[in-house]
Amino acid sequence: MIVVKLISYLPLGILYFFSDLLYLIGYYVVGYRKEIIRENINHAFPEKSKKEKSTIERKFFRNLTDSFAEIIKMYTISKSALDKRVKIQNANIPLDLIAKGEVVIGMTGHFFNWEMHLLQMMANISTKCEVVYLKVNNPFFEKLMKTIRGRFGGILVERNEFQREYLRNRNTPRMIVLAADQRPTRAEVRYWAPFMNRETIFFEGAEKLAKRFNHSVIYSDVQKPKRGHYIFTYSLLCEPPYKENREHSITDAFISRTEKTIRENPSLYLWSHNRWKISK
């Protein structure tokens, strides 16, 4: 942990030099998860040429290796430096609802760099922000990520503990952030829907929570204007009352918005994740 902290003091430009080397080795020599990445992109964009899909693949891999450098830098990055690199537009949408005493559900996907997004949320919304995360099996990396994510305050709740924590703090105004594009296990399969040209399983915890307790739902879009700089834009996805809404309406709205974000910025999505491992 001390070694990681010392490395994180290096300028991001130097860390990017090492991520460039990692990109060259990982993409051209090792071919890290190349089959999965290629298969996912081929299914998602059948209309694109081989050259276009190859460009998405290479840009994605560079975003992936850059994210490693950025995560290390987040260990010691100052709030002012983070503010220059990560912009959150329309943060007033959840903050205004929270100020009215409401609980807000934030739904997002695995777009680069979601870890910088989480840290910026924690820095600006702080104790009014609760992030639900999936525990990392490796104890070292679990401790590292919890340390990084918790630097500026906020609340981290492991997914398996979320239901109990929610009931305990049900009346506490805050934004609960969920990465809603996680892949459920076979035992957790609840809802299948078309997503990037394939039948895909989705969690519906956010939808059930929002409809049962009348919470508004926020979606986060993403853009990457240049290396190391991100813009996350919040918008209202759904709001109560939900009496007339059809089943799966919130999840379907999230899927539609996520697809739109992917098609606008395809190299920012996590194609190396075996999202479609389970078939219907």
- What element of type H or E holds 141? helix 139-149
**Which range marks the domain in which residue 59 is found?**
2-268
How far is CA 96 from each of CA 32, 47, 66, 93, rounded to the nearest angstrom? 43, 42, 34, 6
Indicate the number of domains in the chain. Answer: 1
Neighbours of 234 (CB within 10 A): 22
Residue 75 lies in a domain: yes
Residue 277 lies in a domain: no
Residue 279 lies in a domain: no
| Residues 77, 27: Cα–Cα separation, whole Å | 28
Q: Exposed/middle/buried for 115, CB within 10 Å: 0-12, 13-18, 19+?
A: middle
How far is CA 158 from each of CA 140, 155, 163, 277, rounded to the nearest angstrom? 16, 10, 10, 23
Query: According to the model, what pLDDT value does residue 1 have?
Result: 80
Query: According to the model, what pLDDT value does residue 112 have?
Result: 96
| Residue ranges, the chain, pLDDT below 50 | none
| Residues 145, 148: Cα–Cα separation, whole Å | 5
- 140-145: long-range contacts at Cβ-Cβ below 8 A with a sequence spacing of 24 or more? 140/1, 143/1, 144/1, 144/4, 144/75, 145/115
Query: According to the model, what pLDDT value does residue 126 have?
Result: 67
